[in-house]
């Protein structure tokens, strides 16, 4: 049974979403790059705080992890662009791929909680540093490029929810997230593929680098990784015994609840941008 959304809760969700959208767009289009890097580092600090709480880290351990990751992001964002070498970016994105394409699915398959010690630190770095780096790199390439990389995730979420609600019959991962269905996954995949084909048709630079088959392949990976990110965060919350990752965003929960699908997908977009240079 799906939870009932009360009118007051729905109003709160809508107002929070509108405020977040306005702040996000203003930051993306108006903030100078150095200030934008500071803003991203602050958001990452709060996101890692939620991560440390999900792992039930001791307060000191959590603050250390938050600060280290935020400083790494800030150092990257404030460094000269010439220091963002292709080798460094490749290593960062490979770290993300190794986690999201192997480690995260393995944890979900065995359904074991991540330990708050070594694994907690390592997974925190491998999750949050690459997505922040990709976020900064995509925005540096252009605000519209960043939005173009985020749009398919929003479309996939909307399509997956709509199709799953209307036609969902076969559960995707009932132990981790009972509300998600295979029908919703296919709906999200279709939305991402259509978006990718439309984007390729209207962006000559993209069409010149990526063929139709590769476009479909990337779209499929994008949609699949968004599902992995969503399920992984759901698993983390189940192990922690909480409904939301935090309470920072009224009506929406925490930051992780809003960016879970972006965590594995933006590094893929960043790698694609690096490949097209």
**CA distances in angstroms from 89 to 10, 72, 76, 136, listed in the order given:** 40, 13, 10, 12
Mean of per-residue pLDDT scores for the chain: 89
**CA distances in angstroms from 231 to 149, 178, 224, 252, 271, listed in the order given:** 20, 10, 11, 17, 23
Cβ atoms 173, 232 nearer than 8 A: no
Q: What is the pLDDT of residue 2?
A: 44
Closest CA to 153 of 251, 260, 274: 260
Confidence of residue 277 (pLDDT cuts 50, 70, 90): confident
Record the pTM: 0.91
* Residue 203 confidence (pLDDT) above 60: yes
Q: How far apart are the first and last CA of the chain?
A: 48
**CA distances in angstroms from 9 to 4, 160, 218, 226, 271, listed in the order given:** 10, 22, 36, 26, 38
Confidence of residue 82 (pLDDT cuts 50, 70, 90): low
Helices 59-78, 33-54: inter-axial angle, 10-degree rounding: 160
- Kindly report, residue by residue over 219-267, the tens digit of the pLDDT: 999 999 999 999 999 999 998 899 888 888 777 788 999 999 999 999 9
Instruction: Establish how many alpha carbons lie within 13 A of residue 31's alpha carbon, considering only the half-sphere containing its beta carbon.
Output: 17
> In the structure encoding, which two tokens stand for residue 29, read together?
């289009």
Q: What is the pLDDT of residue 1?
A: 37
Cβ neighbour number for residue 256 with a 10 Å cutoff? 26
Higher-confidence residue of 36 and 7: namely 36
Confidence of residue 9 (pLDDT cuts 50, 70, 90): low
């Amino acid at each position: 049974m799906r939870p009932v959304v009360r009118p007051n809760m729905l109003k709160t969700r809508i107002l929070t979403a509108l405020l977040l959208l306005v702040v996000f767009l203003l930051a993306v289009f108006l903030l100078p790059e150095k200030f934008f890097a500071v803003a991203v580092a602050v958001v990452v600090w709060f996101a890692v705080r939620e991560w440390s709480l999900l792992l039930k880290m001791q307060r000191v351990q959590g603050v250390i992890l938050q600060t280290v990751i935020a400083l790494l992001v800030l150092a990257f964002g404030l460094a000269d662009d010439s220091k963002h070498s292709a080798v460094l970016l490749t290593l960062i994105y490979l770290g993300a791929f190794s986690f999201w394409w192997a480690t995260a699915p393995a944890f979900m398959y065995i359904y074991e909680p991540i330990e708050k010690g070594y694994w907690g630190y390592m997974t925190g770095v491998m999750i949050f540093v690459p997505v922040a780096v990709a976020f900064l790199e995509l925005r540096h390439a252009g605000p519209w490029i960043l939005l173009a990389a985020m749009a398919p995730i929003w479309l996939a979420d909307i399509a997956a929810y709509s199709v799953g609600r209307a036609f969902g019959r076969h559960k995707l991962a009932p132990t981790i997230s009972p509300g998600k269905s295979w029908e919703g996954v296919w709906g999200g995949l279709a939305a991402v593929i259509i978006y990718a084909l439309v984007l390729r048709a209207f962006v000559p630079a993209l069409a010149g680098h990526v063929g139709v088959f590769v476009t479909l392949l990337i779209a499929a990976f994008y949609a699949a990784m968004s599902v992995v990110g969503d399920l992984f965060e759901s698993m983390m919350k189940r192990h922690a015994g909480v409904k939301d990752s935090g309470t920072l965003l009224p009506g929406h929960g925490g930051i992780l609840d809003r960016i879970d699908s972006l965590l594995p997908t933006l590094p893929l977009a960043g790698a694609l941008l690096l490949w097209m240079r």
